[in-house]
Chains A and B, each alone.
Chain A
Amino acid sequence: MKRLLLDRKMYVEFGLAAVLFAANILLTIFMPYLTEHKRYYDSGAYITVLAIAFVIYVFGVHITRKKSTSDIAVVVFAFFAVWETAYKTGTVKNDLLIPSPEGLFHVFVEKPEEIWLDVLGSLQLLFWGFFLAILFGTLLGLLAGWIPRIREVLLPISNVITLIPPLMFSAYLIMVFATFREAAIAVIFFAVFWPTFQGTVARVSQIDRAVIEAARTMGVGTLGMLGKVILPYCLPGIIRSISKSLRGAFMCLTGAEMLGINLGVGYFIEKYKSFADYRCVLAGIVTVGVITTVIDILVNKAEKTLIRWEE
């Protein structure tokens, strides 16, 4: 059966989103500035972004087949149309704090290399801190989940530590570590390690006794139990928790970068804040949003391919 690009029922919503998209393009190209003293930026980058957003929306509505997808597109495009109109008519008084959408997205054309390097830097820090935290948090969690004596020591301790917001001790960690890189990795590590540990312990204790007993009757020893039974049993839960902790880790990272690490998107935002270049600050914030979303999507994809069994 040939699948239509759209269900017939969704024509109205799709039409509305498409009209708003077209309106945005027309506004950008043809609407004159009704006020003087306005900064002018080339609209190429902004139009590209609008076009990309529209393409993503069309794909999205094709996959999800939901009216709400169209509703989201309508809200987003309406927001941009209002923003553009408000700016060009001069309703926005302080154009330093609130740039035009053209101006905002033009940053990506002006400083592509700087943004790219900062994104890469952030991702590198994120990868190492996150990777190490998941690895050790899971290992220790499996061990503590399986051996009551270890659990009864570590769980109360972790309960106290996780009550302290990670950003609170990141300022201190930045002082302790020799380089900013290490400090940032440590911040992420501590932000992710304990929650991962606790989640793993909880999952191990929820394992079906019958499964454990079956493994024991087959002569599986302690190491085999951890590696061949408990780990695979808990893996879906661990992977599912990754997307959640990844979000937290990225928030911590950008936070830590703003606190003093001279690398990454957070640093980018902090730097341009001190230059009072809020156009760049906003561009940095948008970048963080885009990266987080992309990571989220990738992790969800990985989750679906890795977990083939469900209880």
Chain B
Amino acid sequence: MTASEKTGETRTKIAIRDVSFDYVDRKTTFAALNHISLDIRDGEFLCILGSSGCGKSTLLSLLSGLNRATSGEILLDGKTVRGPGPDRAVVFQQYSLFPWLTARGNVLFAIRQSGRKYTRKEREEKAEEYLRNVELLAARDKYPGQLSGGMKQRVAVARALALESDVLLLDEPFAAIDPKLRQELQELVSSLCAKQKKTVVFVTHDIDEAILLGDRIVVMEPGRIRTEVKVDLPHPRKRDNLIGTPAYEALHQKLIAGFYAQVRENIDTEVLL
């Protein structure tokens, strides 16, 4: 590690180096990611924006280690990622809580998996704290089957935070949640991650969500990165205060251009054919 890499915010936390990923389905091979390179700085909140099928979730699964890159490599703190581990917490789009454990039990499971040496009492206190952070302390003894979709995802966020990892990966975590609640959860995640100085990779197809949360937005088109937009809006960002401001509209326009350019290109080729 060089001296310049050590200094504060410019340090690279995650380095994606020329990564490709092919899905092999019987005889056909489908290149989901095509030679992607990307650096994610320590403490950065990065949003990956793209329409469905562009490979953004695949990229996240490579970061989490659930899938292995076909070629290229991913470095976390300079070390190659070889599989999943508690140094990267993940929140999935689909509900993934352990149904046999209560909300608190789920969080406690993560605390145990974090590998940190806490006493039983400390673990209990930590669990309560994380559930309080997502405003679910009252529902701590409920099983996932008794919770609404929004509550489940809040527990999933609490469980991810309870791993106490530097890196948090979120794969469209609020896509299935109604808009009002989604906004609450976005603000919650934004403030929690900022407070704990986590490096966050947040996959979404929602432009507003990306602007609201990200320090930087990477726009993807199938297989590769199209463009990158830096978001300089001050934190904390409130959706209601942001929408309609010139800075916000400018960003929005820029992203829409990037987001839909590819769709337009597709339509054009079809028309030509």
Instruction: Identify which of B96, B100, B110 contacts A235 (C-beta below 8 A).
Output: B100
Instruction: Identify which of A211, A214, A220, A229 contacts B90 (C-beta below 8 A).
Output: A214
The number of residue pairs between A and B whose CB atoms lie closer than 8 Å in the complex comes to 63
Q: Is the CB of B66 within 8 A of A311?
A: no
The yes or no answer to A165 lying at the interface (CB within 8 A) is: no
Contact code string A193-230 (vs B, CB < 8 Å = 1, else 0): 00000000000000010110111111110000000110
Given known pairs A210-B95, A217-B89, A218-B163, the reply for A233 and B100 (CB within 8 Å) is yes
A214 to B84: give the CA distance in the assembly, Å: 10
Secondary structure call for the A interface: helix
Interface residues on chain A, number (Cβ under 8 Å): 21
Residue in A213, A215, A311 with the greatest tally of chain B CB atoms within 10 Å:
A213
The yes or no answer to B72 lying at the interface (CB within 8 A) is: no
Q: Is the CB of A210 within 8 A of B94?
A: yes
Q: Is the CB of B99 within 8 A of A218?
A: no
A310 to B100: give the CA distance in the assembly, Å: 8
Q: Is the CB of B86 within 8 A of A219?
A: yes
CB under 8 Å from chain A, chain B span 84-115: 84-86, 88-90, 92, 94-101, 109-110, 113, 115
The yes or no answer to B64 lying at the interface (CB within 8 A) is: yes
Q: Is the CB of A211 within 8 A of B66?
A: no
A232 to B66: give the CA distance in the assembly, Å: 22
Q: Is the CB of B92 within 8 A of A214?
A: yes
Instruction: Identify which of A217, A228, A309 contacts B99 (C-beta below 8 A).
Output: A309
Q: Hey, which chain A residues are within 8 Å of B109, CB to CB?
A: 218, 228
Instruction: Identify which of A210, A215, A220, A308 contacts B143 (C-beta below 8 A).
Output: A308
Q: Is the CB of A309 within 8 A of B110?
A: no
Q: Is the CB of A210 within 8 A of B92?
A: yes
Additional A-B contact list (20), CB under 8 Å, known A208-B96, A213-B96, A218-B113: A210-B95, A211-B96, A213-B92, A214-B90, A214-B92, A214-B98, A217-B65, A217-B85, A217-B90, A218-B84, A219-B85, A232-B98, A232-B100, A233-B98, A235-B100, A236-B100, A308-B143, A309-B143, A310-B143, A310-B145
Nearest 7 CB-CB pairings of A with B: A210-B96, A219-B86, A214-B96, A309-B143, A217-B90, A218-B113, A232-B100
Interface positions of B (Cβ within 8 A of A) = 64-66, 84-86, 88-90, 92, 94-101, 109-110, 113, 115, 143-145, 163
Interface positions of A (Cβ within 8 A of B) = 208, 210-211, 213-220, 228-229, 232-233, 235-236, 308-311
